[in-house]
Amino acid sequence: MTTPTIELKPSATPLAAAERQAILASPGFGRHFTDNMVTIKWTEGRGWHDAQLVPYGPISLDPSTHVLHYGQEIFEGLKAYRQPDGSVAVFRPEANARRFRNSARRMAMAELPEELFIGALDALLAQDAGWVPPHGGEEALYLRPFMFATEAALGVHPANEYLFMLIASPSGAYFPGGVEPVTIWVSEDHVRAVPGGTGDAKTGGNYAASLLPQAEAAAHGCAQVVYLDAVTRTKVEESGSMNIAFVYGDRIVTPELTGSILEGITRDSLLQVARDLGYTAEEGVVTLERWREDAASGALTEVFACGTAAVVTPIGTAKTRTDAWTHGDGTPGPVTMRLREALLGIQRGVIEDKHGWMHHLGQADNA
Ligand SMILES: *Cc1c(COP(=O)(O)O)cnc(C)c1O
């Protein structure tokens, strides 16, 4: 089975430039979508076929469609940034392509070849390049590849048909008024993932399970949830959609990947950026007890969460059902802010990309 090429059938009625500029001036997150999308089908016995770039729009599904009943679905999230010379570059898409395959394998789905994943990004970005916000701020074009089981029949088994789609949405700066620390809720009643489960796959079901604890966090005035390991309920794992890191002076510790933590690309990149800046950056175990004690003693100086959407988010305060504690003076710490600037600088093309992380559109990969 060969890799199909993407047939270009773009919208004949793209949004007028003036309307697009108005959206790009204040895009928010996930509210507006570009003119086009990419769709690729997979059928058992035939492989990947019908790769197309088509106008963005609704799709029609049979009521028995497998994903609606059994949740066989995976997704990715990555960003394209306008570079100082006006060109467009995507941050580490090869890493997302690899993780998408890993997620597919765990969910017993067809694995999209990495070159087709990258090909879909290139095709959509070439067509909808005008939707990448201007260089200058932290705005970017958020790319959302996803795939789900489309077999129209009930019965629990890996589906014999899948649909891959790629859509794109301009996204504004996560902290438009300047970086602000968030308060995080330590979930003691619910867990996100269990050893041997699907915690290391980027699948919608993990998010469905996180909505109740997220609502509980909001009810306690917290913006995010942090989960503990499911077995001992003592070790910190990650937030619902972001990894977490602890700063002890010039040493940074993030929970080691145990199979129930999603392997974040921002997490991995920050470990490298931290080492490049001369910090000690390591994976290890941080217990809830240590977290609380080290915050009280002052040994723990900063805590931050990281992921593609918000890049780096300082965590000022942590709360449980019984207590709360603050890191340092509760304001964004210098290490957190330095890492944030360094990573965003690489992504925006103003700091040298020495690890070959940026995939430049319309050029052979230089990684
Ligand atoms: C996507 C995701 C992250 C962050 O991954 P990035 O590759 O850095 O965007 C962290 N945790 C969970 C549960 C996620 O789904």
Note the pLDDT tens digit of each residue in 95-105: 999 999 999 99
Residue 316's CB is within 10 A of a number of other CB atoms, namely 19
Q: Which atom of ligand 1 is nearest to the CA of 76?
A: 1
Nearest CA among 74, 9, 80, 15 for reference residue 42:
74
pLDDT at 1: 64
CA of 205 from ligand 1 middle (Å) equals 14
Between 3.20.10.10, 3.40.50.720, 3.40.980.10, 3.90.1300.10, what CATH number should domain 182-347 receive? 3.20.10.10
Query: pLDDT at residue 367 above 60?
Result: no
pTM for the full model? 0.96
Average pLDDT over residues 300-313: 96
CA of 242 from ligand 1 middle (Å) equals 5
Query: pLDDT at residue 362 above 80?
Result: no
Query: pLDDT at residue 22 above 80?
Result: yes
Average pLDDT over residues 177-200: 94
pLDDT at 113: 98
Fold assignment, 7-173: D-amino Acid Aminotransferase; Chain A, domain 1 (3.30.470)
Of 243, 306, 339, the residue with max ligand 1 atoms within 8 A of its CB, to mutate for a pocket test, comes to 243
Q: Domain residues of the chain, as ranges?
A: 7-173, 182-347
Q: Which atom of ligand 1 is nearest to the CA of 309?
A: 9
Query: pLDDT at residue 52 above 70?
Result: yes
pLDDT at 177: 81
Average pLDDT over residues 235-248: 97
Ligand 1: residues whose CB is within 6 Å?
A: 77, 202, 238, 241-243, 262, 264-267, 307-308
Average pLDDT over residues 69-76: 98
Average pLDDT over residues 131-138: 94
